[in-house]
């Protein structure tokens, strides 16, 4: 059903993370697109339903760039009744303003089923990109018992021991339609080594040839450096358990355009059983790593590792702020940066006439209080209301 034209009137509008906001602004949405935006003086044409947004802030639809569709709740996705699937997608994403996600490892055919149902409009949900099953070292996969305890559906993942096998696995995933390649760089507890720079660069070359990106999950600072030297595009985590990142890492970041999903709240969550002093040490180390990354000019993509943590993004927003990122920088990591890194059209990640009407409308002013960014009133994807 096409939505009727709507005018969101009276809120503070951030058309783009790198421009000052328009106070008392207007956003006109028609036929799934932004028809116009600007000051309240923009005339609202006849036939538009008017929604008063006084006291609210309107930002481009948000992206969570590190999620997993591997929890049991997503299994047999083609058979989940549409209202239930829509409800699960709403709880995970749109109730927090999220309109686009990047899945960094899950059973690919199953995730593709979710995407097909959302793309056909049968089920309301976010835009989904997926790396399919991540590549692992032999023996690096957690046991089925552990996976079951984590609430994860059993997922066979390609085990690769050398560059040739890694390239084969990459080709297979890309042929099946994956939108990127995820490498679990770390080795196995049993002794299988972490991926070498040779394996990583062979995968990066193959993926880049196909126009796709490579994401690396590191366990240590050494893994990060190997991944950077191998030419990956996105580092999927900070690594506070291995201590501070070295100047060599930051020098490499300065030279290469690489992105990071910090996943700060993940470490805080995993440390919840530890003594307070240990929790603080882990959190502070992760904050320092992000701080160093930002001062080295590295790109930041918002990402929580949803599936391993709950869906509320607020703990991550607060930690990014604690690492020194201001609201426009945090907003960029949620909007314009992913649009740039993933090579989307110019109008993606912004509110601009002719662009898709992907919007998050939140209560309050997130610039003065970041908690407002998680207090969502409406989420729209291509003009369709995903959450209200
Ligand atoms: Zn993850």
Q: What angle do CA 326, 330, 333 make, to 5 degrees?
A: 145
Token readout for 32 is: 């799934």
List, as ranges, residues with CB under 5 A of the ion ligand 1. 305
Give the torsion through C-alpha atoms of 87, 341, 365, 19, to 10 deg: -140
Ligand 1 centroid to Cα of residue 316, in Å, is: 14
Ligand 1 centroid to Cα of residue 111, in Å, is: 15
User: For residue 196, what is the DSSP state?
Assistant: P
Q: Find the CATH number of the domain harbouring 321.
A: 3.20.20.140
Ligand 1 centroid to Cα of residue 16, in Å, is: 28
26 and 111 both lie in a single domain: no
Range of the domain at 20: 6-59+350-387
Q: How many other CB atoms are there within 10 angstroms of residue 25's CB atom?
A: 24
Ligand 1 centroid to Cα of residue 86, in Å, is: 23
CB 98 within 8 A of CB 126: yes
What pLDDT, on the 0 to 100 scale, is given for residue 2? 54
Say how far residue 300 (Cα) sits from the centre of its chain: 10
Ligand 1 centroid to Cα of residue 261, in Å, is: 10
Tell me if 1 is assigned to some domain: no
53 and 96 both lie in a single domain: no
Beta-strand relationship, 6-13 and 127-130: unpaired
**Residue that has been written with the tokens 């490892």 in this structure:** 105
Burial (CB count <10 Å: 0-12, 13-18, 19+), residue 195? buried
86 and 223 both lie in a single domain: yes
Give the three-state DSSP class for 367. coil
What pLDDT, on the 0 to 100 scale, is given for residue 116? 97
Distance CA 337, CA 106 (A): 24
Ranges under pLDDT 50 in the chain: 1
Q: Find the CATH number of the domain harbouring 22.
A: 2.30.40.10
Distance CA 263, CA 255 (A): 23
Ligand 1 centroid to Cα of residue 169, in Å, is: 19
CB 217 within 8 A of CB 142: no
CB 64 within 8 A of CB 313: yes
What pLDDT, on the 0 to 100 scale, is given for residue 190? 73
Tell me if 129 is assigned to some domain: yes
74 and 211 both lie in a single domain: yes
43 and 180 both lie in a single domain: no
Ligand 1 centroid to Cα of residue 246, in Å, is: 23
Give the three-state DSSP class for 121. coil
Tell me if 182 is assigned to some domain: yes
- Number of structural domains, the chain? 2
What pLDDT, on the 0 to 100 scale, is given for residue 334? 98
Ligand 1 centroid to Cα of residue 266, in Å, is: 10
Distance CA 351, CA 359 (A): 8
Tell me if 279 is assigned to some domain: yes
Tell me if 222 is assigned to some domain: yes
Tell me if 107 is assigned to some domain: yes
Distance CA 267, CA 300 (A): 17
Ligand 1 centroid to Cα of residue 94, in Å, is: 20
- Which residues are within 8 A (CB) of 146 and not within 5 positions of it... i.e. 6 or more apart? none
CB 151 within 8 A of CB 184: no
- Which residues are within 8 A (CB) of 148 and not within 5 positions of it... i.e. 6 or more apart? 154
């Amino acid at each position: 059903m096409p939505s009727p034209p709507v005018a969101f009137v009276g809120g503070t509008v951030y058309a783009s993370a790198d421009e000052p906001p328009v106070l008392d602004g207007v956003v006109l949405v028609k036929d799934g697109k932004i028809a116009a935006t600007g000051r309240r003086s923009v005339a609202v044409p006849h036939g538009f339903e008017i929604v008063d947004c006084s006291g609210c802030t309107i930002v481009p639809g948000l992206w969570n760039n590190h999620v997993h569709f591997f929890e049991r709740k997503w299994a047999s996705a083609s058979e989940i009744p549409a209202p239930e699937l829509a409800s699960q997608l709403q709880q995970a994403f749109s109730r927090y303003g999220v309109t686009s996600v990047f899945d960094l490892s899950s059973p690919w055919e199953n995730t593709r089923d979710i995407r097909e149902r959302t793309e056909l409009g049968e089920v309301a949900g976010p835009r989904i990109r997926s790396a399919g099953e991540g590549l692992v070292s032999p023996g690096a996969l957690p046991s089925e018992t552990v996976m079951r305890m984590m609430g994860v559906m059993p997922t066979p993942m390609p085990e690769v021991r050398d560059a040739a096998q890694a390239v084969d696995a990459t080709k297979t995933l890309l042929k099946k339609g994956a939108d990127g390649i995820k490498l679990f760089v770390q080795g196995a507890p049993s002794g299988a080594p972490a991926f070498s720079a040779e394996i990583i660069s062979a995968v990066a070359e193959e993926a880049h040839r196909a126009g796709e990106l490579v994401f690396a999950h590191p366990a240590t600072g050494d893994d990060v450096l190997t991944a950077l030297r191998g030419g990956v595009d996105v580092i999927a985590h900070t690594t506070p358990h291995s201590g501070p990142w070295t100047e060599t890492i930051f020098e490499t970041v300065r030279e290469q355009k690489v992105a990071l999903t910090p996943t700060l709240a993940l470490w805080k969550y995993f440390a919840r059983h530890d003594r307070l002093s240990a929790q603080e040490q882990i959190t502070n180390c992760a904050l320092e790593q992000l701080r160093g990354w930002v001062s080295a000019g590295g790109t930041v993509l918002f990402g929580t590792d949803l599936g391993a943590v709950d869906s509320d993004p607020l703990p991550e927003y607060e930690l990014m702020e604690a690492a020194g990122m201001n609201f426009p920088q945090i907003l960029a990591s949620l909007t314009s940066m992913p649009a740039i890194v993933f090579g989307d059209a110019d109008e993606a990640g912004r509110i601009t006439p002719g662009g898709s009407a992907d919007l998050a409308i939140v209560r309050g002013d997130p610039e003065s209080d970041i908690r407002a960014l998680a207090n969502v009133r409406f989420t729209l994807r291509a003009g369709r209301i995903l959450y209200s």
